[in-house]
């Protein structure tokens, strides 16, 4: 026992003193190290997975090599929740020293977009590049002197060395190792033997070099012990960690080095990140040990895969967070969706409902994550809908403000498509069963309200107030912007004459004529059929004329052209119209069926009379006239 050192902390374990000294540790730090029977290990892990009792400092540390996507939003969210659940701080740090030269120009707005996307999601950070903080700067490219000073510290202690190998030589040794069938193709340690004075002289004369970490220390002993909260004890396969680069030839630190230095200096206590970083963590722990620093607690969460168990890729446009916003999903819905990818409130103690806003997630948070790959679920629409309903009940104006911009975007996309079709090749044959791809081909011009100037204040091409009215009309059915615009398209666009013709033919198939009840029949109790001989036989144009006559006298102003007034005038007329049977598909009374034809060529959509209110008198009357004209 003399050679063993007691390691404090919640999970005590004896570590060989030699090992600690080899790692250059003068102080003994609390750390987790699990050994023993699997069930015991699991038990210990479970204890470690309890929330810390002191405030956690966590960070989200993206590189500007892509936009925020589902996986990174989830990482940010877990870190946010841990900080907030323990009364700690959540930091944003931009890791922009590695690969910067490889960032394609279309990503030049990545930093700006990161802030926008995070704010949209509602994950406000306590310290960060844009707002500063006690431990700044928070952009790694602004911290270069700090990394240089720390590299020097390791060089001075013989824990790092300069490597003058040319890229060609490094390529060569890699190829050779591969040709020999060696699994590990890392650095061969060539420059580790250069005497320090020579190394210094060569560096001073300006010879290009990088700096490598002496992974195996002077004792050749490299056993970075760490236990991951998700995956348990993790040891790299022997020989898998070479003398890795900490400072590149261009004077920039590598990700591994800058990440460790910053996590230490910024006093990060917990690192939750994607499982792709698990294999890198022994290097990080090696660096913490070399500096004599305590490493944070790590939790590597399972990678997200698609339904075919393939890794979700950043390049997949659909998983970019802004694309969810543009589609009209609510941040609450999206956050709720991602929090359930590898975590569940069910294992907590405070209720198991999966529908949660951010505050409820904070309240229910714990560190028991699912181990292994996580297949993304299809709960997004369901959860988004739940949050939409909650919003509708609590603050409908806020909901509308969030939904109008994506609706405007969906309208613009469809309008572009429509434009393209009308100027491009002949539109596909119209059909009553309009499928998704065909929608643009079934649209007329914009209704006048849409053609009026856009709302500059809201940064929209179109009239935001009008779009808001259309949203209010049928908000209960809203799932996302594109599907909503499709469903309500005839509130934004007129009905083309050709569609009137075709749908009339389809819609009135099998019915020879419609009847309008005589006033005597309408007054009688016992149904229309007995009164056919006194009722007027009418064709579609005749019935359209009746509607036009009934509506003509209602003034067009908003206080007259109301739902109540329209119902009063139209309901008796609608009731008086009958055919041989109810309408074929909708089973709605023939009067309504005809009204649906005038207004939207029989396409399903929001309630008709409220739609007429939104369209206004002029457009409604125009539609009835165009419908009549289409019959001729
Ligand atoms: N910059 C790394 C990334 O892009 C951070 C990984 C970590 O959290 O340590 O994901």
> Domain residue spans in the chain?
4-37, 57-137+306-392, 143-301, 395-491, 497-631
Q: What is the residue with the minimal CA distance to atom 2 of ligand 1?
A: 62
CATH 1.10.10.350 is held by the domain 497-631? yes
Query: Between the ranges 84-88, 103-107, 176-180, 316-320, where is the mean pLDDT highest?
Result: 84-88
Percent of the chain whose pLDDT exceeds 70: 78
The residue with greater pLDDT, 11 or 630, is: 630
Contact indicator for 594, 573 with CB cutoff of 8 Å: no
pLDDT given at position 580: 56
Per mean pLDDT, which range of 60-69, 428-437, 519-528 is the poorest?
Answer: 428-437
Question: How many whole angstroms from 177 Cα to the centroid of ligand 1?
Answer: 29
The burial class, CB within 10 Å (0-12 / 13-18 / 19+), for 188 is middle
> In terms of Cα–Cα distance, which of 492, 509, 519 is closest to 581?
509
The residue with greater pLDDT, 25 or 57, is: 57
Question: How many whole angstroms from 274 Cα to the centroid of ligand 1?
Answer: 8
pLDDT given at position 9: 31
pLDDT given at position 32: 36
531 pLDDT above the threshold of 60: no
The burial class, CB within 10 Å (0-12 / 13-18 / 19+), for 220 is exposed
> In terms of Cα–Cα distance, which of 563, 459, 457, 579 is closest to 508?
579
Model confidence over 419-457: pLDDT tens digits?
A: 887 765 544 444 434 444 578 889 999 999 887 766 666
- Average the pLDDT over 194-198 and give the result: 95
Model confidence over 126-161: pLDDT tens digits?
A: 999 999 999 999 999 999 999 999 999 999 999 999
The residue with greater pLDDT, 204 or 517, is: 204
Q: What is the residue with the minimal CA distance to atom 3 of ligand 1?
A: 62
pLDDT given at position 13: 33
> In terms of Cα–Cα distance, which of 166, 171, 164, 172 is closest to 193?
164
C-alpha atoms less than 13 angstroms from C-alpha of 194 in its C-beta half-sphere: 22
Percent of the chain whose pLDDT exceeds 90: 53
Question: How many whole angstroms from 251 Cα to the centroid of ligand 1?
Answer: 20
Contact indicator for 381, 480 with CB cutoff of 8 Å: yes
Longest dimension (CA), the chain: 116
The residue with greater pLDDT, 454 or 85, is: 85
The neighbouring-strand residues paired with 161 are 212
Q: What is the residue with the minimal CA distance to atom 5 of ligand 1?
A: 61
Q: Do the bridges between strand 297-301 and strand 270-274 make them parallel or antiparallel, or are there none, so unpaired? A: parallel
**575 has catalytic annotation:** no
- Average the pLDDT over 111-131 and give the result: 95
Ligand 1 closest atom vs CA 280: 9
pLDDT given at position 3: 36
Query: Between the ranges 106-115, 199-208, 581-590, where is the mean pLDDT highest?
Result: 199-208
Q: Are the folds of 57-137+306-392 and 143-301 the same?
A: yes
Per mean pLDDT, which range of 170-184, 402-416, 438-452 is the poorest?
Answer: 170-184
Contact indicator for 553, 491 with CB cutoff of 8 Å: no
385 pLDDT above the threshold of 90: yes
**Nearest-angstrom CA–CA distance, 424 and 427:** 8
Catalytic residue, candidates 294, 314, 379, 469? 314
Q: Which two tokens stand for residue 124?
A: 């406000």
What is the sign, positive or negative, of the torsion defined by CA atoms of 281, 285, 291, 294? positive
Peptide bond before residue 430 is cis, with ω within 30 degrees of 0? no
pLDDT given at position 221: 58
pLDDT given at position 222: 64
The residue with greater pLDDT, 6 or 208, is: 208
Q: How many helices (H) does the chain have, and how many strands (E)?
A: 24, 16
Ligand 1 environment, Cβ below 6 A: 61-63, 95, 255, 259, 273, 277
Per mean pLDDT, which range of 114-123, 479-488, 577-586 is the poorest?
Answer: 577-586
**Nearest-angstrom CA–CA distance, 57 and 391:** 32
Mean confidence (pLDDT) of the chain: 83
Confidence band (pLDDT; 50, 70, 90) for 31? very low
29 pLDDT above the threshold of 80: no
> In terms of Cα–Cα distance, which of 364, 269, 261 is closest to 52?
269
| DSSP conformation class of 160 | E
Residue 493 has phi, psi (to 5 degrees) of: -120, 155
Instruction: Name which CATH class applies to 57-137+306-392.
Output: alpha beta
pTM given for the model: 0.81
Which secondary structure element, helix H or strand E, spans residue 536, and what is its range?
A: strand 536-538
Q: 143-301 adopts what CATH topology?
A: Rossmann fold (3.40.50)
Question: How many whole angstroms from 127 Cα to the centroid of ligand 1?
Answer: 17
Mutating to test ligand 1, I would choose from 66, 95, 303 the residue with most ligand atoms within 8 A of its C-beta, which is: 95
């Amino acid at each position: 026992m003399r050679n063993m050192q007691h390691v404090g902390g919640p999970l005590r374990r004896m570590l060989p003193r030699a090992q600690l000294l080899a790692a250059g540790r003068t102080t003994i730090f609390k750390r987790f190290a699990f050994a023993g029977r699997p069930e015991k290990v699991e038990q210990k892990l479970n204890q470690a997975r309890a929330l810390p009792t002191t405030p956690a400092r966590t960070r989200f540390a993206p590189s500007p090599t892509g936009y925020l996507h589902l996986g990174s939003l989830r990482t940010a969210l877990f870190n946010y929740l841990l900080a907030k659940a323990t009364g700690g701080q959540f930091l944003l740090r931009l890791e922009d020293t590695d690969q910067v030269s490889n960032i394609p120009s279309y990503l030049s707005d990545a930093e700006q977009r990161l802030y926008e996307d995070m704010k949209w999601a509602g994950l406000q950070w306590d310290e960060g590049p844009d707002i500063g903080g006690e431990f700044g700067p928070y952009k790694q490219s602004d911290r270069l002197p700090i990394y240089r000073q720390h590299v020097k510290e390791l060089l001075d202690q013989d824990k790092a060395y300069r490597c003058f190998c040319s890229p060609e030589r490094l390529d060569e040794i890699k190829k050779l190792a591969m040709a020999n069938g060696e699994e590990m193709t890392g650095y061969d340690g060539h420059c580790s033997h250069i005497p320090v004075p020579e190394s210094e002289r060569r560096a001073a004369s300006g010879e290009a070099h990088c700096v490598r970490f002496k992974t195996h220390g002077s004792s050749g002993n490299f056993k970075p012990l760490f236990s991951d909260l998700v995956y348990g004890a993790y040891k790299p396969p022997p020989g898998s960690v070479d003398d890795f680069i900490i400072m590149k030839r261009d004077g920039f630190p590598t990700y591994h080095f800058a990440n460790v230095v910053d996590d230490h200096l910024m006093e990060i206590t917990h690192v939750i990140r994607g499982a792709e970083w698990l294999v890198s963590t022994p290097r990080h722990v090696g660096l913490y040990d070399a500096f004599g620093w305590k490493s944070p607690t790590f939790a590597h969460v399972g990678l997200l895969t698609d339904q075919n168990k393939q890794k979700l890729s950043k390049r997949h446009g659909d998983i970019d967070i802004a694309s969810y916003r543009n589609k009209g999903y609510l941040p609450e819905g999206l956050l709720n969706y991602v929090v359930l990818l590898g975590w569940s409130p069910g294992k907590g103690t405070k209720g198991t409902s999966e529908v949660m806003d951010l505050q409820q997630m904070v309240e229910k948070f714990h560190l028991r994550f699912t181990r292994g790959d996580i297949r993304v679920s299809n709960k997004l629409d369901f959860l988004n809908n739940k949050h939409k309903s909650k919003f509708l009940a609590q603050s409908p104006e806020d909901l509308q403000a969030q939904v109008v911009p994506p609706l405007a975007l969906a309208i613009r996309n469809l309008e572009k498509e429509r434009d393209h079709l009308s100027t491009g090749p002949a539109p596909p044959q119209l059909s009553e069963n309009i499928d998704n791809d065909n929608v643009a081909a079934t649209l007329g011009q914009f209704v006048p309200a849409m053609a009026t100037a856009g709302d500059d204040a809201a940064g929209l091409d179109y009239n935001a107030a009008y779009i808001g009215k259309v949203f209010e009309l049928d908000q209960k059915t809203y799932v996302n912007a594109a599907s909503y615009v499709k469903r309500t398209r005839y509130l934004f666009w007129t009905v083309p004459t050709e569609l009137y013709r075709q749908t009339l033919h389809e819609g009135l198939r099998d019915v020879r004529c419609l009847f309008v009840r005589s006033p005597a029949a309408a007054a009688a109790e016992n149904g229309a059929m007995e009164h056919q001989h006194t009722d007027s036989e009418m064709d579609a144009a005749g019935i359209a004329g009746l509607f036009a006559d009934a509506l003509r006298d209602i003034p067009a102003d908003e206080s007259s052209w109301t739902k109540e007034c329209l119902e009063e005038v139209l309901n008796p007329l609608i009731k008086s119209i009958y055919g041989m049977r109810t309408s074929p598909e909708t089973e709605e009374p023939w009067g309504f069926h005809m009204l649906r034809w005038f207004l939207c060529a029989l396409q399903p959509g929001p309630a008709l009379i409220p739609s007429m209110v939104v369209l206004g008198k002029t457009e409604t009357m125009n539609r009835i006239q165009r419908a009549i004209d289409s019959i001729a």
